Amino acid sequence: MIASTGFMFLGFVVFFLSHSCTTTIASIITPRFPSSILRPELISSSKGQVVYESKYFTQTLDHFNFQPQGYQTFQQRYLINDKYWGGAKNNAPIFVYTGNEGDIEWFAQNTGFMIDTAPHFKALLVFIEHRFYGKSIPFGGDTDVAYSNATTLGYLSSTQALADYATLIIDLKKNLTAEDSPVLVLGGSYGGMLAAWFRLKYPHIAMGALASSAPILNFEGITSPYSFNDIITQDFRGVSENCYKVIKGSWKQMEKTAQKPSGLEQLRKSFRICKNYITIDSLVNWLYTALVYTAMTDYPTQSNFLNPLPAYPVKQMCKAVEDPMVGNDTFAKLYGAANIYYNYSGNAKCFDLNDNSDPHGLDEWTWQACTEMIMPTNGNNEESIFPPSQWQYSERASSCKMVFGIEPRPNWITTEFGGHDIRRVLKRFGSNIIFFNGLRDPWSGGGVLESISKSIVAIVAKEGAHHVDLRFSTEEDPEWLRQARKREIKIISKWLQQYYHDLD
């Protein structure tokens, strides 16, 4: 059987190979990203260079424990830009990006919405890095120590991260004597979840949140474990029924080929895999990664988020699959699709299945996915573009036990932040949250897709992908995207108006 379970978030696809009883850490496969070297502090955009100053804040290691070791500190990085800020005297707003699972520079580079709207709002821009990622590493900044085991990684959690953000924002406002400046938190993906939760947990610090592609409902028992791959299936099927059929039909054929005497070598050649270790599972995982991430980042303009990609890459993949020049060879068709994701730059000599490079520093998501972020996504029904499979919590649990020696807490997120009956709960309790979702994004299946109240608003873009609203605006942006951003700006303006009214 082909690898049947996996878990992923933004930067993370892992297949745990359930059919093999000898699973080891080495068999956990992470996606390969061609390195894109970011110059620190200099974030380039389509509109030239945007400069953020990197600063460090002495942060408390454990906000929820008064044992002496909890008082240890670490250096937390944040990026700041005050070029457009209207200043403390005017109580001009502060926009804070609640960093997610990776280098904060990378998120800053891909969140043009802040800089695009800063002149209009006269906003101070701040991007805070999530603990245990990028340069915000506890235990003296030493990843060897910080990532050693469950004892050190135990300080990596969403609640600690939110408390970091609260502490840092309060201190920053004090330093700027900007105590009365309204704070808007915003984020995409896990960062969007953090933004929404921050607004709910710390309403005295943030007057509103823009939570983009935040799958806060993608937890056990709330949304269907099939929704994620159903959406990917629909993305490809929506382009062409034939493209969907070719991809869907390829898995069995691959498996069959792999069982032949020199089948793996044949597959290696078909997919131009480098001459090294290849297994059917690593090949499938490699293809799965390409399909998932292309669906997630099916942006209307050329992009370089996870990998460099053309505009509407799903369409481009199907075009490659259906290229008449390729003939009838299924593997050649699939190679063409993979080539869009892994080789849009045209620089790849061969594809390395064992490339575990992690240029955006996303690896520690494994720990989060083994503790609180139990987000079922890999159910596949008969219609799925991937082989049929079921979400099995027990598989996740045993993998995590093996890797970290810990038991996940699948109900902790809903206990801490809610999620069940969210409409009923937030209708009377919450306010000032925008939930943006693009329906082509597989994560939208776990998003808030209907407005809950006048000020908890869902903005849904049928053609949208993963936090496309937060990306730098470009000349080529389609009308639906312009409209979505316009609406967000209008809602935020209203919140600010109300804030200043109340302040008077």
Ligand X SMILES: *[C@@H]1O[C@H](CO)[C@@H](O)[C@H](O)[C@H]1NC(C)=O
Positions annotated as catalytic residues are 189, 441, 466
281 by Cβ neighbours in 10 Å (0-12 / 13-18 / 19+) ranks as buried
CB atoms closer than 10 angstroms to residue 259: 10
Ramachandran angles phi, psi of 463, nearest 5°:
-90, 5
CA distances from 417 to 159, 195, 414, 487 (A): 10, 12, 5, 27
The residue type at 31: P
Cβ atoms within 10 Å, residue 412: 17
Helical pair 313-321 and 280-296, crossing angle rounded to 10 deg: 130
| Nearer Cβ to ligand X (65/242) | 242
Which amino acid, one-letter code, is at 82? D
β-bridge mates for residue 419, sequence order = 421
**Positions in the binding site for ligand X (CB under 6 A):** 55, 57, 145, 148-149, 151-152, 168, 171-172, 175, 272, 327-328, 339, 343, 346, 348, 350-351
Pull the structure tokens for residue 342: 């892994």
CA separation for the pair 292, 1 (Å, rounded): 20
Paired tokens of 4 = 């049947």
Task: Provide, rounded to whole angstroms, the least separation between the CB of residue 339 and ligand X.
Answer: 5
Our CB check for ligand X shows the closer of 41 and 421 to be 41
Cβ closest to ligand X, residue 348 vs residue 406: 348
Identify which of 160, 154, 215, 172 has the alpha carbon closest to the alpha carbon of residue 56. 172
If the CB atoms of residues 96 and 448 are measured against ligand X, the closer one turns out to be 96
Q: Which is closer to ligand X, CB of 246 or CB of 456?
A: 246
Runs of H (alpha helix) within 154-296: 158-175, 190-201, 227-239, 241-259, 263-270, 280-296
Specify burial of residue 290 (Cβ count, 10 A radius: 0-12, 13-18, 19+). buried
Ranges of beta strands (E only) in 331-464 are: 433-438, 456-461
Rounded Cα distance, 345 and 398, in Å: 39
Question: Nearer Cβ to ligand X, position 347 or 394?
Answer: 347
Quote the least distance from Cβ 350 to ligand X, whole Å.
Answer: 5
